[in-house]
Amino acid sequence: MLTAVNPATGETVREVTPDTDEQVEAKLAASLKAYHEWKEKSFSERGDLLKAVAKHMRDNVETLAPIMTEEMGKPINEARGEVNKGAWCAEHYADNAEAYLTRQVIESDATVSYVQHLPIGPILGILPWNAPFWLAFRFCAPSLMAGNSALMKHDPHVPGCALAIEQCFRAVGAPEGLFQALMIETPRVEAVMRDKRVRGVSFTGSSRGGSKVAEIAGSEIKPAVLELGGSDPSIVLADADLEKAADVLTLSRIINAGQSCIAAKRIIVEDSVYDRMKDLLSAKLRALKVGNPKLEETDVGPIARKDLRAELDRQVRTSISEGATCLFGGEVPEGDGYFYPVTLLADVTPDMTAFKEETFGPVGVLIKARNDEHALELANDTEYGLAASVWTKAERGQEMARRIEAGQVSVNGIVKTDPRLPSGGIKSSGLGRELGPHGIMEFVNAQQVWVGPVQGG
């Protein structure tokens, strides 16, 4: 049974019977059939469908957003924003896919030679719970506009979200089998990955899960895009606008109750402004309201699951025992639901758990750096390489970005995902890119065409 538990109350809110093996087989067959028909559609026809889906989402945001709030605890204002961001992603690729995939003429000895970008078949998206709508469209919008079909295996804890996303396509008359939700338990997804009809895999989740997906995809010689964990550094230097940095880093740390791969997890501050930054962050984080995610005034909702909260609590307690200073928070509250207080740990060093591990929750981690070189050393001292930010003069920040081991760097701004810009990690944070012109290239056949005769022959 696929079971959704409301993390604000601990109560079961939805149970969905998993697909049978026969139903999975039918969905695979339908996906392949839809692909063969869909790949012949023009970019305009594909775009019309994606725009219709986007309009349906915007028109029904007050129905779709509460499903996220109910199943994984996203505050309602953030949930509305996520639905609209997913619609934006669909619209962006509807408008830009043709230009992204335009034929590239390359001079050679041929009369004409070029590369054209062709679809490859059904693409499987394996998605986590923390951004159910956004991650679905980050995966499916470029895949569909490239001419592929899409199969979505969502996290088993958000079955209502998965069915609602599929319904968005059904509601606007999408071809049967073009976009389908596979309602299966996680252990059953390997067989789907290995099925010859599936031609590529997009995975968002933990580094451990990504390693397994990469192993399976590699053994089947299938392309895979992996967006994995992150312990993202945010470097704050003495010449930064500290007030602005504190505002943005507070928001970055607590979006989705801090349950984001690209959240500001390790805030590395130059020694001379460390105490000032600590005071600013303390004031801003303390002012946030933790509570019922259904209420408009709530800033921070619950942790999505009880086991995830227990892991976060372990990381905080262990870090304190290792010498970190807990300025506030750090105690699991009594009562229903899986709430965790906004917490700020100071004086964290590289040998501590909060430095070495990814913390998935509203826990700020302050680290002192002697100077900019030491800050860079600390930033790169991690197995992860997803995203980072630098707060300093713009030119200096751009110079430092080249030396940061991450797939994405923001200078004097929040780290975010944007349909127009590629996103992805290096090291243990992933393979490949999503979004922007790079993302749509991941699941296409970059076919070289050589047309004779040889020039001058």
15 among known catalytic residues: no
CATH number of the domain that residue 237 is part of = 3.40.309.10
The alpha carbon dihedral of 136, 137, 138, 144 has a sign of positive
Q: Are 364 and 263 in contact (CB under 8 A)?
A: no
Which residue numbers in the chain have pLDDT < 70?
457
Q: Does some domain include residue 417?
A: no
Gyration radius from the chain CA atoms:
23
Sequential DSSP letters for 136-185? HHHHHHHHHHTT--EEEE--TT-HHHHHHHHHHHHHTTPPTTSEEE----
Give one DSSP letter per residue of 235-287, joined into a string: EE-TTS-HHHHHHHHHHHHHGGGG--TTS--EEEEEGGGHHHHHHHHHHHHHT
| Residues with Cβ within 8 Å of residue 186, at least 6 apart in sequence | 156
160, 256: one domain: no
168 within some domain: yes
Residues 382 and 439 in one domain: no
Rounded to 5°, the CA angle 423-311-182 comes to: 55
C-alpha dist (Å) from residue 431 to 11, 51, 151, 225, 386: 37, 29, 20, 6, 10
Q: Virtual CA dihedral for 253, 257, 260, 264, nearest 10 degrees?
A: 10
Q: Are residues 212 and 297 in the same domain?
A: no
Does one domain contain both 102 and 146?
yes
Which residues form the domain of 283?
Answer: 233-411
The packing angle between helices 132-145 and 61-72, to 10°, is 120
**Residue 222: CATH number of its domain:** 3.40.605.10
Structure tokens at 166: 């599929």
* Residues forming beta bridges with residue 153, ordered by sequence position: 126
Of 140, 161, 168, 261, the catalytic one is: 261
Q: Which two tokens stand for residue 26?
A: 């039918």
CA distance linking residue 330 with residue 350, whole number of Å = 20
Calpha distance 367→375 (Å, rounded): 9
What pLDDT digit, counting tens, does each position of 307-352 carry?
Answer: 999 999 999 999 999 999 999 999 999 999 999 999 999 999 999 9
In a domain, 434, yes or no: yes
Judge whether 17 lies within some domain: yes
pLDDT attached to residue 456: 76
Exposure string of 342-375, with b = 16+ CB inside 10 Å and e = fewer, is bbbbbebeeebbbbbbbbbbbbbbbbbbeebeeb
H or E element: which one contains 79? Answer: helix 76-100
Q: Give 113's contacts (C-beta < 8 A, 6+ positions apart).
A: 105, 106, 107, 448, 449, 450, 451
Q: In the chain, what's the furthest Cα-to-Cα distance?
A: 83
Identity of residue 123 = I
Q: Which of 82, 227, 358, 405 is catalytic?
A: 227
Q: Look at strands 387-391 and 408-411 and give their pairing.
A: parallel
Task: Note whether 264 and 367 are same-domain residues.
Answer: yes
In a domain? residue 454: no
Is 161 in the active site? no
Q: Estimate the crossing angle of helix 61-72 against helix 159-171, to 10 degrees.
A: 160
Count of alpha carbons within 13 angstroms of residue 117, beta-carbon side: 24
- The answer to whether residue 345 sits within a structural domain is yes
Same domain for 282 and 166? Answer: no
Number of other residues whose CB lies within 10 A of the CB of residue 223: 17
* Integer Cα distance of 84 and 76 in angstroms: 13
Q: Are residues 254 and 222 in the same domain?
A: no
Say if 456 falls within a structural domain.
no
CA 383, CA 379: separation in Å to the nearest integer?
11
Query: Do 208 and 304 sit in the same domain of this protein?
Result: no
**What total of structural domains would you count in the chain?**
2
Same domain? For 220 and 244 the reply is no
**Same domain, residue pair 80 and 194:** yes
User: Does residue 416 sit within a domain?
Assistant: no
Q: 85 and 213 share a domain?
A: yes
Instruction: Report residue 337 as tokens.
Output: 């639901």
What is d(CA 68, CA 84) in angstroms, rounded to the nearest whole number?
13
The per-residue pLDDT for 438 is: 98
Do both 272 and 398 map to the same domain? yes
Q: Among 285, 279, 235, which residue's Cα sits nearest to residue 257? A: 285
> How much is the pLDDT for 228?
97
453 cis-preceded (ω within 30 degrees of 0): yes
